[in-house]
Amino acid sequence: MSADLTIKTNYSLLNYNTFGIDAIAAGFVQLKSLDDYIALVKSDILREKPFFILGGGSNVVFSDHYEGIVVHPANKGIRLIEKQNDRCFVEANAGEVWADFVNHCIDNGWYGLENLAAIPGTVGAAPVQNVGAYGKEAKDVISRVHLIEIETGEERWVSVEDCEFGYRWSRFKGEWSNRYLIDRVVFALRDEFVPDLSYKALASALTERGIEKPTARQLADTVGEVRDSKLPNPKKTGSAGSFFKNPVVNDAVYQTIKSKYPDIVSFPVGDDRFKLAAGWMIEHCGWKGRNLGNAGVYEKQALVLVNRGGCTGRDVRNLADAIIADVQARFGLKLECEAIFV
């Protein structure tokens, strides 16, 4: 084992999850370099106990204390590795803070990440759930992902196609779960800025600000402001961002719901399929601003569950279950959690 690779025991995860749940991990290890990754997989640590790979902790809820090893990628570094005409291939290590990475790219004239500004979490977590916001998803900008297989220690690159990205989904959440460690990601960006204003609420926010042709910085800042107006300030209120996924239904289901609830907010996604705004449905079940135990539904965005102070994983589970039951009873749809209970 590398001299620097230390396993901390009975380690508080309070500062490692944005919900602010005070769970304790039996073991906690930070990976600060590729050598640390290799040393970890060569050791028997991950074979002896259950483990959980924790990025920025912005999408997890610890139900209880964690009896296994929490593995926390903390390797930093961002570099331009290749330039092909207007294409810039930028490699970032898994432990980089996503929002800092986006800012760094804009400052260096590498464009394409502006709509994904200000999302909490890390670079290494972005491919796992294919983070997305304001009309862009991680899959639109990822070129390839570098992995270390836990069982064999083998290193390999996987392409965007290999990752089988979907809406808040990838193979890393399915058959590849706990099979690989992600140590770095390469993004395909451009040195020419072309704003993506396809998300209506973002385009309107720019118009309201009197900005017709935004610079990359203006676009990213506007995204940050729109997020701030809807999502809780992570420094003040614990949350995991959107707690549920927006359900995607076929035309028949959509028509049935629409005939009963003509105002429901929805977006067509490809042929014959519609994404329904789960926040709208939760609001219409009367949950917006309500609490259960020390967990609550955020008053400005019903898709977001928040920590009202001293919230436990059990409080969040109870609230999520109550919301899922009410939405099912009223709309006939079972909401899926975007956040993961550990």
Q: Which residues are catalytic?
A: 168, 242, 338
* Paired tokens of 301: 């965005």
- Alpha helices in the chain, H assignment, sequence order: 34-42, 45-48, 98-107, 126-129, 160-163, 200-208, 216-230, 251-260, 278-284, 313-331
Residue 301 DSSP SS3? coil
Residue 111 DSSP SS3? strand
| 241 makes contact with ligand EPU (CB under 6 A) | yes
Closest distance to ligand EPU from the beta carbon of 120 (Å):
8
User: Quick one: 75 or 130, whose CB is closer to ligand EPU?
Assistant: 130
Q: Give the footprint of ligand EPU on residues 256-315 (CB under 6 A).
A: 265, 277, 279-280, 283, 288, 301-303
The long-range contacts involving 47-51, CB below 8 angstroms and separated by at least 24 positions, are 51/178
| 340 makes contact with ligand EPU (CB under 6 A) | no
| 19 makes contact with ligand EPU (CB under 6 A) | no
| 230 makes contact with ligand EPU (CB under 6 A) | yes
Residue 177 DSSP SS3? coil
| 203 makes contact with ligand EPU (CB under 6 A) | no
CA separation for the pair 207, 18 (Å, rounded):
32
User: Quick one: 166 or 293, whose CB is closer to ligand EPU?
Assistant: 166
Task: Single out the residue of 133, 150, 206, 292 in contact with ligand EPU (rule: CB under 6 A).
Answer: 133
For the stretch 258-272, what's the b/e string if a residue is b when 16 or more beta carbons lie within 10 angstroms of its beta carbon? eeebeebebeeeeee
User: Quick one: 269 or 325, whose CB is closer to ligand EPU?
Assistant: 269
User: Quick one: 45 or 54, whose CB is closer to ligand EPU?
Assistant: 54
User: Quick one: 81 or 269, whose CB is closer to ligand EPU?
Assistant: 269
Whether 315 and 61 have beta carbons less than 8 Å apart is answered as: no
Helix 200-208 vs helix 216-230: angle between axes, to the nearest 10 degrees? Answer: 110
Closest distance to ligand EPU from the beta carbon of 6 (Å):
32
User: Quick one: 76 or 330, whose CB is closer to ligand EPU?
Assistant: 330
Closest distance to ligand EPU from the beta carbon of 166 (Å):
12
Q: Give the footprint of ligand EPU on residues 28-67 (CB under 6 A).
A: none
For residue 139, which of 162, 173, 109 has the smallest C-alpha distance?
162
Q: Give the footprint of ligand EPU on residues 180-199 (CB under 6 A).
A: 199
Q: Which residues bind ligand EPU (CB under 6 A)?
A: 133-134, 199, 201, 230, 241-242, 245-246, 265, 277, 279-280, 283, 288, 301-303, 338
